[in-house]
Amino acid sequence: MESKPAAPSLESLSIFDTCLTMGRLATSQAPEPLPDAQAVLAMMDRYDIAEALVHEHHARVVHPRKKGNLRLLGEIAGHPRLHPVWVIQPPQTPGRAPARALVEEMLDAGVRAARLPMGKMPSHDWYWADLCAALEEHRVPCFLDFGDVSTLGSLSDFDVDAVGRIAAAHPALPMILSHVMGGLGIHPAIVPLMRRQRNIFIDVGALLEYWRQVARQLGAERVLFAGGAPFTDPGILISNIQYARGFSVEEKALMYGGNIRRLIEEVRQ
């Protein structure tokens, strides 16, 4: 009887989590928070997560966002496994100059990825045009966040259309649909949209099956790992890739961390 090939070890795959929320959560309905770097690292060790992109919860839900972004830098200083992500939105003053100043401030602080709160702010393409142009100049990977209190979110027809227009207007800007809801599937236009716009990626957060369709039809290089702690259990999503049939070890390594590492390395100063 032919034996099944063993699943690759998590250590060898060097998992890089792209969606990890840190800080006290601003709601009584939230799960147990990850208040500081020690709690984050302890959680990562339990799940064999090598590195993580970390954003601060208050930066997602409390204005001004800058306070949470700056607090994050202090919290993770000295912890090289933790990489900061700033939650940013277009400056109130329109034009390229204010948007460029914001992006340059972020890069000068050592931040190489951004979360765009499209669930909290208008997803109109004109609203994001200046900021996305500034981010595109530096090839900063952007995580499109359609969540509310948690990072879990869903896309309406309008949202999908807006993402398509933004991606088409900024083809050199990596845009990752982050932690979108769906279970067995999400908005049916996502794969057709990703076929047309090769700068759109998707993470596996909350997607138990849909990521497989994307990886099989469009390639493993279009899928990123996201554990989603503390709102979702990273262990379920980790094992979902680890034991998935039909994908090579090399493809799993891309999804677990190779893709996001490449995107970060391609950021221009």
Over residues 231-240, the pLDDT tens digits come to 989 999 999 9
User: How many residues make up the chain in this entry?
Assistant: 269
Residue, of 179 and 25, whose pLDDT is higher:
179
- Considering the entire predicted model, what is its pTM? 0.93
Closest listed residue to residue 224, CA positions, set 175, 160, 163: 175
pLDDT computed for residue 8 by the predictor: 67
Query: Considering the chain, what is the average pLDDT of its residues?
Result: 92
CATH of domain 11-265: 3.20.20.140
Closest listed residue to residue 61, CA positions, set 24, 91, 94: 24
Element (H, E) at 144: strand 142-145
Residue, of 5 and 145, whose pLDDT is higher:
145
Q: What percent of the chain has pLDDT over 90?
A: 77
pLDDT computed for residue 209 by the predictor: 80
Residue 3 has pLDDT above 50, yes or no: no
Mean pLDDT on 61-75 = 94
Tokens at residue 4, please?
């099944």
**Three-class SS of residue 255?**
helix
Tokens at residue 151, please?
């990072």
Mean pLDDT on 240-264 = 96
User: In this structure, are strands 142-145 and 82-84 parallel, antiparallel, or unpaired?
Assistant: unpaired
The tens digit of pLDDT for each residue in 103-133 reads 999 999 999 999 999 988 988 999 999 999 9
pLDDT computed for residue 177 by the predictor: 96
Domain parsing of the chain, residue ranges:
11-265
pLDDT computed for residue 2 by the predictor: 47
